[in-house]
Amino acid sequence: MNVINRTQELKALFSYEHKVELEEKQLEILPYRFSQTMGAQDIECLLQIMPTPGFSKIPDNGIEENKNFNYLIFAPKRNEKHKDAILLLHGLNERSWEKYLTWAEYLAEHTGKAVILFPIAFHMNRTPLSWHQPRAILPWAQLRKEMIEDLNNSTFANAALSSRISDSPLRFYASGRETIYNLWQLSKEIKNGEHPLFAEDASINIFAYSIGALISQVLLLANPEKLFDETKLFMFCGGSIFCKMNGNSKDIMDQEAFAKLQNYFQSDFLDPSKLPSVCKEDFLEEAFKAMIKQESMQHFRESFFQKACNRIRAISLKNDIVMPTQGIIQALGKRCADVVLKELDFPFEYSHQIPFPSNKKIEPGLVDSSFRDLFGRVASFL
């Protein structure tokens, strides 16, 4: 498979609204509607205290696209309901599923399982279109540069997220918490036989990239209603302890926003007296706190991953500065990391954000073989 060409072919077929048949693969891409109900009141209370973004004028709790949205499933064609699902979770500040389409197709084809592309709260199609339209955002990006001296890595692509995080770093947690509720709701619907594509008590495994890995780790640590007792997790370019992540990037967030994010969660968020009253100190919050620093609830976190190491695998990339290998070791604990983590180094120039580049100077065969090697490992495990 030529990854570059296939990505463009799938991009041309992509639709949030219509079923797409991939006849040569015996797969279909199916759109489904999600309307959040699980934790809705809890999330409403959190979102109500967030300042309204200056570039948007719509309060967070008024963004209907975030509450009701379509998601896609790559599924092998069959007459009976599916007995297995793989949740595919993406990275931070992403608006397009483009690079993930070949990932989902490969996993569906080589595992025979249905692969669910599920968007994180306030990402992908869960935001107003204006958030990533140049006409609406460029003036705000320019204003940030004028207001903040020597602002590094400020771009049109990260202006919306940077502004929102700068206004309130707690948004990062609120978005993650909302996504956990959504995955809890979806998984419960699947397990109860309420989803039209899946048989009752279908298995649910996870392939998580970048910040999606952090969400997955929190989900497994919290394990609501014990829905994820047997869930397997494969993390790619993700799984780092929070304090070792580096989101200061032109396509993630600018320097000022990232500094505020790290400062807030390594200090105020860990002090109950400094948290707003809407924060509950419940099992979801505790699971997230366990992922902030190596020394935060270290025994709880590391003992969990040690017990679960037979159902977790992770691959990091040597040149990944966003989610470094050392941060993943600190998150999992060395005993678990020695079993589950492998660091790779592709034989071409890559980055965290673009692990499989379409650079014409790179031999496509090298990209294709690295892609097949990686996702062959994923498919074999999940």
pLDDT given for residue 133 in this prediction? 82
pLDDT given for residue 148 in this prediction? 85
Closest-CA residue to 172 (of 104, 59, 264): 264
Residue 112's alpha-carbon distances to 1, 75, 84, 138, in angstroms, are 18, 8, 8, 44
117, 71 Cβ separation under 8 angstroms: yes
pLDDT given for residue 146 in this prediction? 81
Q: Which two tokens stand for residue 235?
A: 């993390």
Q: Where are the beta strands (DSSP E) in 91-135?
A: 114-117
Q: CA dihedral in degrees (184, 189, 193, 197; nearest 10)?
A: -100
pLDDT given for residue 280 in this prediction? 81
Q: Burial-class residue 50 by CB neighbours within 10 Å (0-12, 13-18, 19+).
A: middle
pLDDT given for residue 55 in this prediction? 81
Number of residues that this document lists for the chain: 382
Tell me the average confidence (pLDDT) per consecutive run of 10 residues in the chain, 382 residues long. 90 95 94 97 95 88 96 96 98 96 97 98 94 83 83 87 94 97 98 97 98 98 97 98 95 94 96 88 95 95 97 98 98 97 96 91 91 97 98
Domains and CATH numbers, the chain: 3-381 (3.40.50.1820)
Dump the DSSP string for 184-235. HHHHHHHHTT-STTEEEEEEEEEEEETHHHHHHHHHHHH-GGGTTTT--EEE
Q: Burial-class residue 57 by CB neighbours within 10 Å (0-12, 13-18, 19+).
A: exposed
Closest-CA residue to 179 (of 226, 205, 217): 217
pLDDT given for residue 75 in this prediction? 97
